[in-house]
Chain A
Amino acid sequence: MATGIKDKVAILGMGCTKFGERWESAAEDLIIEAFQEALTDAGIEKKEIQAAWFGTHIDEVNVGKSGVPLATTLKLPFVPVTRTENYCATGTEAFRGACYAVAAGVYDICLALGVEKLKDTGYGGLPATAAFGQMQALIGPNATAPGLFAQLATSYFAKYGIDPAAGKKALAHISAKSHANGAMNPKAHLRRPVAEEQIINAPMIAYPLGLFDCCGVSDGAAAVIVTTPEIARSLKKQDPVLVKALAICVSSGEEALFSTWDGAHLETTYRAGKMAFQEAGIKTPRDEISMMEVHDCFSITELTVYEDLQISPRGRAIDDIKDGFFDLKGKIPCQPDGGLKCFGHPIGASGLRMLYEMYNQLLERWPEERRVKNPRLGLTHNLGGIPSTNVCSVAIIGR
């Protein structure tokens, strides 16, 4: 009988680069930067790492395929390195590989590292790739990520009878909150507070999403070193941060092909959340989760995720948004580091960046002004692909 991941794996150390337009840095530089911080934090030597998982998403403007770039950059001494790629859940997928290997008792200490070098594209937004295969390229619309996610908003507003102007205002609060948080974070890509008014009046990217409804496209890397709780304690980490749940949920084709999905929520997020809450033993997420880093690739994604993760009731997320429930000083601070919106979104690194924020909040390492009070459980969430067809990851860590 499977017993799940809860309390079987401890985080020994983490590292994360500054995200942003790192014109002077290659992916290799970012890898080294994140890794060295994680190694120092863990207080171990490189040779103690027995296996590694390496998350990168885009081949065209990054380091290419396979685990080789991680090993050769860090000169890992002939250890197994597995490349993971699972859309925007890539980083969390790397973490999952490392955690499962430790939990299985195969290795004592493992590394997961994610990196993306997006700013060698020559234009804004994600690079145009055949991410959905050759057939989809023939039959799919001429689309970009903002347009694919903007449809969540048109469907959501229609389903719940929300006036687009009122909808835009709620979305603006989501982005304004993340900008306020990002402004305090020295590692964030976008560090300027932005007023709701400016967000609402920004140029349209994909109706109804404007410029500030879209997350930053950034370069960056993040790393984590995991081990067993026993080894962590033996290495003088008395009260280590433990993994409570790790869930991945992948669309079955039902949303895209069969007539049940409403286009106004993320079915995989609902299901991944359910799996994770069960694994972590959480009964009422709204009362038990202390803080979250969710996949706010676009403001509307964050809004539907509030509901899909059962924090806000269906169709009622706007009430919580208005109440400041997800603000830094709210009941469940969401995106305390600025989120994808402002910390940035180097795809392969994002899941690990979220864990980095939750981990450091749990260890109460941040300055007072951006510290979440008495956190017990932190949740991270990634959503890769498009609203109808995607990979969702939910991880919960705590002390």
Chain B
Amino acid sequence: MPGIVSFGAYVPRYRLKRMTIFQAMGWINPTTIMLAQGEKAVANSDEDSLTMATAAGIDCLDGFDRTMIDGLFFASTTMPYLERQNAGIIAGALNLRDDVRSADFSGALKSGTSALLSALEGVGSKNANQILVGAADCRLGKMGSPQEMIFGDGGAAFLVGNQEVIAEFKGSYSLTCDFVDHYRGSKTIFDRQWEDRWIRDSGFDEFIPKAINGLLKQCNLKLSDFSRVIFQCSYDSERKNLVKRLKLDPEKIQDPMHGSIGETGTAHSPLMLARALEEAKPGDKLLVVSFGSGCDALYFEVTDQISKKKKRMGVQGYLANRADLPSYPKYAVFRGMLPVDIGLRGEADFLTRWSLIWRKRKAVLGLVGSRCKKCGAPQYPPQRVCANPACGAVDEMEDYPFADKKGRILSYTGDMLAASYDPPELYGYVEFDGGGRFMCNFTDCTLEDLKVGAPVSFSFRKKYYDEKRDIQGYFWKAVPRKEVA
């Protein structure tokens, strides 16, 4: 039976208190005080939906053999590229095989569950053994809008397959409706929406029950058979209405994490599912319902495999890894909403040479270096002539992935001169555990977090943005991690 083999999550480290937003922008839309509770997760200046899906994928695949993966689906409404497959960039970052199928799922907020459904049916057809599904969003509401309060950033990932599944896929029901509660044309960056009351009464109130009832009928089940009901609803008051109308046990309702993360678009029902799986017990029946241009309802039954302890950060782990983003202007600059002066140095032109990018794709996207077969020295970037002075072997190298290695800081600095949206630029040499070294940026930390000898791991991030040609470049950065005794 097809099902979920593993899951992972990603919640960016920065959290913005909604009152901080209100204090900065409430003057233009005082009613947003109603939404100014809790906080939301905010992508760092070097993160977007693609990097967050990659991070969730890394969390999901910890301990799994990546060569067994036959496909990669990416769902988001905020993909960096309209042409150039975004899933292909993630496949490169995850160093997957070349002969995998891949697709981008976009447009609707239900795309996350649609991608998951397609993957489950894909492995069900036996044409693929395992498919990785990543969903992430980094949606923008205009400054001062209710959407700005509601939207949060995050991602989730699932490895689906037929063997050793932790949650069996038992059935689904889908609805497609061109119900335009919100939309965004191809030339705009901000989401626009219609009146809340109409969305609530004619949207959530109609489609969620319809999707749930459709699934129950198809699977010949009662709602009370489910141990956990996960549904996406951006209005917390409407969520309460639905619980009453459907006579749901409030204990069984999955917390939408609006007060800690926010509404994460295509990633939201997947993220809630991931959170539910963190607490699930064998035999639990899970119902997942997404919302956006219709609904997908999915039914999973948790298996004994869930008891096998697996290393992952998960939603809980990433929620605990938090830092305040105390400044609204900083958030607005991170999201490109405020023009800011980074100096003339920041205007230096950098031309992306696609033929070079292709030639060096493994090294740049995948952080794949080389290891000398003669002396065993790992090296990054990959070399043909061994850098070990006692060896110097020529063309005796094998691929050696560094992205999953840990490392330690050899040197560091915080540079106020480098053009940056988040000065100082932090960078230094990192010595990989097991050998090899390279100089890279540090992220998700402050200068005070950096010490010679401190441990780091690696994260796929935005590297540069070529405004003139609309090119988003990616590479790896080191993230200081807490020493585990």
A interface, CB within 8 angstroms of B: 121-125, 127-130, 134-135, 137-144, 146-148, 150-152, 154-155, 158-159, 203-207, 209, 252-254, 256-260, 263, 388
Who on chain A is nearest to B434 by CB?
A259
What chain A residues lie within 8 Å of B424 (beta carbons)? 204, 206-207
Instruction: Check A142–B381 contact: CB distance below 8 A.
Output: no
What chain B residues lie within 8 Å of A123 (beta carbons)? 343-345
Number of interface residues of B (CB under 8 A): 51
What chain B residues lie within 8 Å of A158 (beta carbons)? 451-453
Q: Give the residue of A121, A135, A144, A155 whose beta carbon is less than 8 angstroms from that of B418.
A: A144
Least CB distance, A45 to chain B, in whole angstroms = 44
Instruction: Check A146–B417 contact: CB distance below 8 A.
Output: yes
- Can you list 15 A-B contacts (CB < 8 A)? A122-B344, A139-B364, A139-B438, A139-B440, A139-B475, A142-B418, A143-B427, A147-B425, A151-B413, A204-B416, A205-B415, A207-B415, A209-B413, A256-B437, A258-B387
B interface, CB within 8 angstroms of A: 343-345, 348, 350, 353, 356-357, 360, 363-364, 377, 379-381, 383, 387-389, 410-420, 424-425, 427-429, 431, 435-441, 447, 451-453, 463-464, 473, 475
Instruction: Check A147–B415 contact: CB distance below 8 A.
Output: yes
Known contacts A134-B356, A254-B389, A388-B439; A207 and B414 CB within 8 A of each other: yes
Known contacts A128-B345, A138-B463, A147-B427; A155 and B452 CB within 8 A of each other: yes
* CA–CA, A206 and B429, complex, Å: 15
* CA–CA, A317 and B276, complex, Å: 60
Q: Give the residue of B428, B437, B447, B463 whose beta carbon is less than 8 angstroms from that of A151.
A: B428
What chain A residues lie within 8 Å of B363 (beta carbons)? 135, 139
Known contacts A123-B343, A134-B353; A144 and B415 CB within 8 A of each other: yes
Least CB distance, A66 to chain B, in whole angstroms = 23
What chain B residues lie within 8 Å of A155 (beta carbons)? 410-411, 429, 452
Q: Among the interface residues A128, A146, A155, A257, which one has the most CB atoms of the partner chain B within 10 A?
A: A257
What chain A residues lie within 8 Å of B353 (beta carbons)? 134
Instruction: Given contact pairs A147-B418, A205-B416, enumerate 5 new A-B contacts (beta carbons under 8 Å).
Output: A127-B348, A130-B350, A138-B360, A258-B388, A260-B389
Q: Give the residue of A122, A140, A258 whose beta carbon is less than 8 angstroms from that of B377.
A: A258
* CA–CA, A152 and B413, complex, Å: 9
Instruction: Check B379–A388 contact: CB distance below 8 A.
Output: no
* CA–CA, A122 and B347, complex, Å: 11
Least CB distance, B93 to chain A, in whole angstroms = 14
Instruction: Check A141–B425 contact: CB distance below 8 A.
Output: yes
Least CB distance, A169 to chain B, in whole angstroms = 19
Least CB distance, A256 to chain B, in whole angstroms = 7
Instruction: Check A206–B411 contact: CB distance below 8 A.
Output: no
Who on chain A is nearest to B46 by CB?
A142
What chain B residues lie within 8 Å of A146 (beta carbons)? 413, 415, 417
* CA–CA, A305 and B438, complex, Å: 23
Going nearest first, the 9 A-B pairs with the smallest beta carbon separation are A147-B415, A151-B411, A141-B427, A158-B452, A257-B387, A128-B348, A150-B413, A155-B411, A207-B414
* CA–CA, A203 and B423, complex, Å: 14
* CA–CA, A168 and B40, complex, Å: 41
Q: Give the residue of B348, B417, B453 whose beta carbon is less than 8 angstroms from that of A205.
A: B417
Instruction: Check A142–B344 contact: CB distance below 8 A.
Output: no
What chain B residues lie within 8 Å of A254 (beta carbons)? 387-389
What chain B residues lie within 8 Å of A159 (beta carbons)? 452
Instruction: Check B380–A388 contact: CB distance below 8 A.
Output: no
What chain B residues lie within 8 Å of A204 (beta carbons)? 414, 416, 424
Instruction: Check B436–A142 contact: CB distance below 8 A.
Output: no
Q: Among the interface residues B345, B417, B425, which one has the most CB atoms of the partner chain A within 10 A?
A: B417
* CA–CA, A252 and B392, complex, Å: 11
Q: Among the interface residues A124, A141, A144, A146, which one has the most CB atoms of the partner chain B within 10 A?
A: A141
* CA–CA, A254 and B436, complex, Å: 10
Least CB distance, B479 to chain A, in whole angstroms = 14
Q: Give the residue of B389, B410, B416 whose beta carbon is less than 8 angstroms from that of A258.
A: B389
* CA–CA, A305 and B475, complex, Å: 34
Least CB distance, A390 to chain B, in whole angstroms = 13
What chain B residues lie within 8 Å of A140 (beta carbons)? 439-440
* CA–CA, A148 and B415, complex, Å: 9
What chain B residues lie within 8 Å of A134 (beta carbons)? 353, 356
What chain B residues lie within 8 Å of A150 (beta carbons)? 413, 415
Q: Give the residue of A125, A135, A148 whose beta carbon is less than 8 angstroms from that of B356.
A: A135
What chain A residues lie within 8 Å of B425 (beta carbons)? 141-143, 147
* CA–CA, A259 and B437, complex, Å: 7
